[in-house]
Structure 1
Amino acid sequence: MRLEASENGKNEWVKDRYTIGLDFPNLPYLIDGNIKITQSNAILRYIGRKHKMCGDTEEERVRVDILESQAMDFRMQLVRVCHNPNFENMRLIYLQQLPKSLHLFSCFLGTRKWFAGKKMTFVDFSMYDILDLNLKFLPTCLDLFPNLQEFLTRFEGLKKISAYMNSPRYLPKPVFLKMAKWGTQ
């Protein structure tokens, strides 16, 4: 399995992107044998199915489906703020709404160990990422949500995640491209 992103270098990507057989040439992409996928969520869902991380019961699968879309909406709110020419004004509006959004995620997680249930699913990766991103944006944002803090700690405590985060390959920033008003350094 090969997952490619910007490490290929921009010039190489621009030159090769239409020659590797991707339906929609884009970064990131994943090539797993004959399977070729672009789009982050499609890649995550594929990996989730392959490793039986999409929920075991219908209730868990529904929770995964809901959370996958909700996490993307939540991420896109912050993306729009950070790429808006009127960043400071949009930032203030986002910060006013942030506790309500986090409260909903906190209620959805409840007392569960993972967002869909007892076992980790692929959406836990998305949720970790967006919660971590919001912590970088506002370090105190999870102060009122101990279950979300515990989720982050549990996720980071996983053996392979911890090893990766303690390796030189882990790059906590930048989180956005250079044209963003925040998260570029």
Structure 2
Amino acid sequence: MFKSEADLITSSLLNVNKDYYTCYKNGLPVRQISAPEIIEQMLRMLHPYSGNFILEIGTGSGYSTAILADIVGERGAIVSVDIDGIMVERANLLLQQDGYTNVRVVVGDGRDGQLDKAPYDRIIAWASAENEVPFPLVEQLANNGILVCPLRKEDSSWVASFRKNEKGDLEEIEKISGGFIPMTDAPWYPWLDDE
């Protein structure tokens, strides 16, 4: 039976075991995870469908990666990029053990995207870009594709969704408030600054 986009997101949120991805074996929480409410809100802004080819920036715990993989199903695929090699290794292992065969997780600077697999139907980032969406991500999005990206400028931060028009330009669809750690060229652990 055909599921609506909203039903796909809802069922995938139920299908994926959050604790499996967001907790270490000793029970301590993984720090590289966005709040479940913002994950759901941003996924709804992304409008993913079964069969989509999606680029994810910021694999983190792998939880959102698993949700996306569940949504797109066997006909779709997820390419996820994270700057932290330790988290990439952990996420790859968990996703394989959880049975996902439609996911490729790689180490890289998310601002560069993953050109060799472009274009993507959807792109979502879980780290913020300064002032505007990095140009490589715009280039790697298919025409009529949707991109969701946290942005920051001076003292303000927000999450915006965009559709790429036929001219190759991004047109903003929606904006919500929200702050994320920045996209960086090296792993950054802001919680260590607080300790």
TM-score range, shorter chain: under 0.3
Q: Which has the higher helix share?
A: 1
TM-score between the two structures when normalised by the length of structure 1: 0.27
TM-score between the two structures when normalised by the length of structure 2: 0.26
